[in-house]
């Protein structure tokens, strides 16, 4: 068996538009439904959803049969947790709250085998390497892993250029909710100043030749961010989709 290519990483390098969804239901069956829905990429969220390596594994397995790219968001920068996600087969990680080049460098080291990094080696017993079936896994893994850093604070913005120069950072994704909070606008991710900061950040990221991403649910603003340089755009989350559809259905059958 050949090393599986990370198609998401290739598409990010081309800065081709890719529409994604955040997946927080933490469930393999609903993940499989979403995998059939036509999104380019799905993010299994381990930051704000009740996920762990076991639930992430079942979602990776559920979506594997479908032509959709998958990313996993760990809850923090813990190299041990990152190792587990890579070993179960996540090839793309979206890591929250990256604020300095030193943090980005540590993350690059966490996703790479030695000597470039510190990822523990056990290729013959992990799903990512087909339990030894992918003979050149240990040699090729570093190049197929895609590291996306999330920029979502004032400090992250201040250090954006330095973060983007870190070799091994493949892309950066703006998180407007945390960015708004960091700018003093908690709960106001649509605040004009947050939008201006996001526009500038997307432009700066794209200018480095690396892919820029953002979470935005408003189609017009999404189009605007695309024009600013965003190429991978998360347009919503499954929990909101379910709740909104449920609210609408319930209310539509109430007697007025
Ligand atoms: C944020 O907005 O803070 C995110 O992490 C993703 O949208
Ligand atoms: Mg965030």
- Enumerate domains of the chain plus CATH numbers: 7-255 (3.20.20.60)
- The tens digit of pLDDT for each residue in 107-140 reads 999 999 999 999 999 999 999 999 999 999 999 9
With beta carbons less than 8 A apart as the criterion, state whether 241 and 195 touch.
no
| pLDDT cut 70: percent of the chain above it | 100
* Closest alpha carbon to 235 in 217, 213, 211: 217
Q: What is the structure's pLDDT at 178? A: 98
* Closest alpha carbon to 151 in 185, 132, 177, 133: 177
Q: How far apart are CA 166 and CA 110, in angstroms?
A: 14
- The tens digit of pLDDT for each residue in 69-82 reads 999 999 999 999 99
Ligand 1 binding pocket mutation candidate from 49, 71, 149, 178 (most atoms within 8 A of CB):
178
With beta carbons less than 8 A apart as the criterion, state whether 46 and 52 touch.
yes
Q: Measure the CA angle with vertex 201, ends 199 and 8; round to 5°.
A: 100
Indicate if ligand 1 lies below 6 Å from the C-beta of 177: yes
Catalytic (active-site) positions: 48
Q: What is the structure's pLDDT at 217? A: 98
Q: How far apart are CA 157 and CA 175, in angstroms?
A: 11
Q: What is the structure's pLDDT at 256? A: 65
b/e code 216-226 from CB counts within 10 Å (16+ = b): beeeebbebbb
Indicate if ligand 1 lies below 6 Å from the C-beta of 156: no
- Return the structure tokens found at 208: 């480095």
Q: Please state the pTM of the whole predicted model.
A: 0.98
- The tens digit of pLDDT for each residue in 188-237 reads 999 999 999 999 999 999 999 999 999 999 999 999 999 999 999 999 99
Ligand 2 centre to CA of 48 (Å) is 9
- Ligand nearest to C-alpha 198: 1
- The tens digit of pLDDT for each residue in 4-56 reads 999 999 999 999 999 999 999 999 999 999 999 999 999 999 999 999 999 99
With beta carbons less than 8 A apart as the criterion, state whether 214 and 196 touch.
no
Which residues, 6 or more positions from 110, have their beta carbon under 8 angstroms from its beta carbon?
77, 79, 82, 83, 117, 118, 119
Q: What are phi and psi of 212, to 5 degrees?
A: -110, 140
């Amino acid at each position: 068996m050949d090393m599986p290519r990370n198609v998401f990483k290739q598409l990010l390098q081309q800065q081709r538009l890719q529409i994604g969804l955040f997946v927080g239901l933490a469930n393999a069956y609903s993940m499989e439904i979403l995998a059939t829905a036509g999104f380019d990429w799905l993010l299994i969220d381990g930051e704000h959803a009740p996920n762990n390596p076991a639930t992430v594994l079942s979602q990776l397995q559920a979506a594997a049969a479908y032509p959709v790219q998958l990313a996993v968001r760990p809850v923090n920068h813990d190299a041990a947790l990152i190792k587990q996600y890579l070993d179960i087969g996540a090839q793309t990680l979206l890591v929250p709250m990256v604020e300095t080049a030193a943090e980005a460098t540590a993350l690059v080291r966490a996703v790479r085998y030695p000597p470039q990094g510190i990822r523990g080696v056990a290729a013959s017993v992990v799903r990512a390497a087909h339990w030894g079936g992918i003979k050149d896994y240990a040699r090729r893994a570093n190049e197929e892993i895609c590291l996306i850093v999330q920029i979502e604070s004032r400090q992250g913005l201040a250090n954006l250029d330095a973060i983007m120069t870190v070799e091994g950072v493949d892309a950066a994704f703006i998180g407007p909710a945390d960015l708004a909070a960091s700018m003093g606008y908690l709960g106001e991710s649509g605040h004009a100043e947050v939008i201006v900061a996001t526009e500038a950040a997307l432009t700066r990221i794209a200018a480095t030749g690396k892919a820029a991403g953002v979470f935005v649910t408003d189609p017009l603003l999404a189009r605007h961010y695309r024009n600013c340089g965003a190429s991978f755009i998360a347009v919503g989350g499954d929990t909101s989709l379910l709740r909104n559809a449920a609210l609408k259905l319930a209310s539509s059958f109430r007697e007025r």
